[in-house]
Amino acid sequence: MTIAPYIDHTNLKATATPSDIKKLCQEAMEYHFYAVCVNGCYVSLAKEALQNSNVKVAAVIGFPLGAMSTEAKIFEAKDCVKNGADEIDMVINIGWLKAKKNDAVRDEIKALKKAIGGTILKVIIETCYLTDAEKEIACTLSMEANADFVKTSTGFGTGGATLEDVQLMKRVVGDKAKIKASGGIKDKATALQYIELGVSRIGTSSGPTLL
């Protein structure tokens, strides 16, 4: 099977330059990846670089810590959509989740989804910082807030995606939300394992190598 349609080709490094983003977009078109995933300042550049292709632009919000105010996240998301983002990957407020402020976590996701309307919303729960019980709660809150995807990781935490976490997430969300595995996926065999478990998208900076 071809894994290209599953891949969000990603460069979220602090050091990423405009030429790095153009290269990312060029590779995404060449390999027919589903999307590129970039920081907000590069959304319009990526949109322009991809204008004659079917490759989508995903932008990260509240990245990578998730600890910004809800208002800041909403502004950032709306700004990215205005600049051409087709999808938004937001980081939950991990501290709120750890403190069992479930209503606040759910309300924030819901507010972002409302602000961006029909734009796809992926919710990064950053599994490396959570207990299994917290992962389950994060997935449930994301579904209750009408998110389109739950996503494992930023790739900037202490760990990335694991097969066990994806199995847990799939058990919780079923068919009510899609799953994106992200962080540390660097070879094709691993990517195929995630796809077999039911993920709809794989976030990786190693797309060309995976193929």
Active site residues: 89, 151, 180
Give me 152's structure tokens. Answer: 């494992």
Task: Tell the burial category of 191 from Cβ atoms under 10 Å away from its Cβ (0-12, 13-18, 19+).
Answer: buried
3-state secondary structure at position 201: strand
Of the candidates 2, 10, 4, the residue with the CA atom closest to the CA atom of residue 161:
10
Residues in the chain: 211
Give me 43's structure tokens. Answer: 């959304």
Contact partners, residue 131, CB within 8 Å, separation at least 6: none
